[in-house]
Amino acid sequence: MMFSCILQAEKLGKLTYPDLFLSFQLIERFFVSLKEVFIVHGAWTIFWREMVKYKRRMMTLFVTIVQPVLWILLFGVALGSTIPEKEGSISYVNFLIPGIIGLSILFSSLFASFNVLLDKEFGLTKEILMSPTSRNQAMVGYSLSGLAKSLIQAFAVLLLGVFLIVSGSEKLVLFGEGEGFFDTFIWFLTFVLIIVIFSFGFLFMAMAIAARMTSHGALQALTTMLTLPLFFASEALYPSREFPFWLAIIAKINPLTYCVRVLQISLLGYDFRYGDNPPFHYEFADIVTGFIMVGLFTLIMFYLAIKSFQKIKLF
């Protein structure tokens, strides 16, 4: 409608000021309705609230950034020192960046469940659900705020990793080194996209769990019970080639494995090796598989989260 309006005016050859003004109004209205369709108002309100608190709680902000820093320092530097350097290899820290990013996203996403449990405990869910904000919107709102935190963590790890590597004057491989700006940009998008999908997956899982839980202790126990096997039975810290059969099976169905693989490819390229380990070799198909596996997981979790939020008891 907006375009036809401009077109008509142009055809007539007299695009006057009022017409322009009208078309601006139309453009504005167009975007407002877009916002209403795609941006679920209630969800952004919840998102806003979580962010207000996040900014205020300097401690959480600090922890979000310090935790991955510790990961990198403990694993990358300590473990890395036991790994011999070799010609043509990347440093262990460099190898580890994608894995640590995957891990910290997994953790931060799963821990988003505590915010929901707190809101249930303090009755804030009642306030939210008494308003025109639907349960689905609330769920998406909590998840969006979790996503923001995940992205902050991911970039904190990335920056720190880069800093460590560069300050150690080691070779840095990042986003398809030396392949031109466009390729770098595509790899960067891939990197962000897999983080978003993967983070949503575990955020939705956290939502599904939190909606059904009533006790902090139980939630804590369950979250720990989930993270440990996901953590160790993945390729985040080491390759899975040497895994015994049962561990390899878990690694095969572990979304973290697929997320880390896509992160590795997008950051380190299709071929890389660290220390005197055998080289890794991936192909485009690995990226596709990665997205499919992580996407599938996220879809299932989305369904579970929606279902669980419908069941939240207010009394």
Partner 1 sequence: MISDVNSVSISEGEEDKEDVIVSVEGLVHKYGDFTAVDGVSFTVRRGEVFSLLGPNGAGKTTAINALIGLLKPTSGEIYLDGINVIKNPEKVKGSIGIVFQETILDREMTVWESMEFHGKLYKIPKEERHEKIWELLELVELSEKVDEITRRLSGGMKRRLEIARALMTEPTILFLDEPTLGLDPQGRVLIWEQIRKVNERGTTMFLTTHYMEEADRLADRVFIMDHGKILISGTPERLKDKLGKDVIFLYLAEKERAREVLEGFDFINEIVEFDKGLEIVLNGSGVPLAPRIMETLDSLKPKLAVDGVNIKRPSLDDVFLYFTGRKIRETDIS
Scanning 39-47, 72-80, 219-227, 241-249 for contacts with partner 1 by CB under 8 A, the matching segment is 39-47
Task: Output 108 or 125, the one with its CB closest to partner 1.
Answer: 125
Name every residue whose Cβ is closer than 8 Å to that of residue 115 and which is 6 or more positions away in sequence: 50, 142, 145, 210
Residue 61 class from Cβ within 10 Å (0-12 exposed, 13-18 middle, 19+ buried)? middle
Task: Output 137 or 150, the one with its CB closest to partner 1.
Answer: 137
Task: Output 181 or 315, the one with its CB closest to partner 1.
Answer: 315
Q: How many CB atoms lie within 10 A of CB 259?
A: 32
Give yes or no for residue 62 binding partner 1 (CB under 8 A).
no
Scanning 3-11, 40-48, 172-180, 303-311 for contacts with partner 1 by CB under 8 A, the matching segment is 40-48
- Name the minimum Å distance from CB 61 to partner 1: 13
| Among 81, 130, 169, 245, interactor with partner 1 by CB under 8 A | 130
SS3 234: coil
- Name the minimum Å distance from CB 44 to partner 1: 8
Of residues 155, 198, 163, the one with CA closest to residue 64: 155
Give yes or no for residue 133 binding partner 1 (CB under 8 A).
yes
Give yes or no for residue 126 binding partner 1 (CB under 8 A).
yes
| Among 105, 128, 251, 294, interactor with partner 1 by CB under 8 A | 128
User: What are phi and psi for residue 7, nearest 5 degrees?
Assistant: -55, -45
The site that binds partner 1 (CB under 8 A) totals a number of residues, namely 22
Give yes or no for residue 61 binding partner 1 (CB under 8 A).
no
Give yes or no for residue 31 binding partner 1 (CB under 8 A).
no
Token pair in block for residue 70: 């510790």
Give yes or no for residue 241 binding partner 1 (CB under 8 A).
no
Give yes or no for residue 314 binding partner 1 (CB under 8 A).
yes
| Among 29, 35, 53, 311, interactor with partner 1 by CB under 8 A | 53
| Kind of pairing between the strands at 280-281 and 271-272 | antiparallel
Give yes or no for residue 63 binding partner 1 (CB under 8 A).
no
Cβ distance 282 to 290 under 8 Å?
no
| Among 12, 27, 32, 52, interactor with partner 1 by CB under 8 A | 52
31 vs 25: CA distance, rounded Å: 10
| Among 16, 123, 252, 292, interactor with partner 1 by CB under 8 A | 123
- Name the minimum Å distance from CB 132 to partner 1: 6
Scanning 24-32, 53-61, 81-89, 97-105 for contacts with partner 1 by CB under 8 A, the matching segment is 53-61
How many residues in total does the chain contain? 315
Give yes or no for residue 132 binding partner 1 (CB under 8 A).
yes
Task: Classify the C-alpha dihedral 15-21-27-33 as positive or negative.
Answer: negative
SS3 273: coil
Task: Output 284 or 315, the one with its CB closest to partner 1.
Answer: 315
Task: Output 53 or 252, the one with its CB closest to partner 1.
Answer: 53
What is the per-residue DSSP string for 120-188? HHTTHHHHHHHSS--HHHHHHHHHHHHHHHHHHHHHHHHHHHHHHHHHTT-----SSTTS-HHHHHHHH
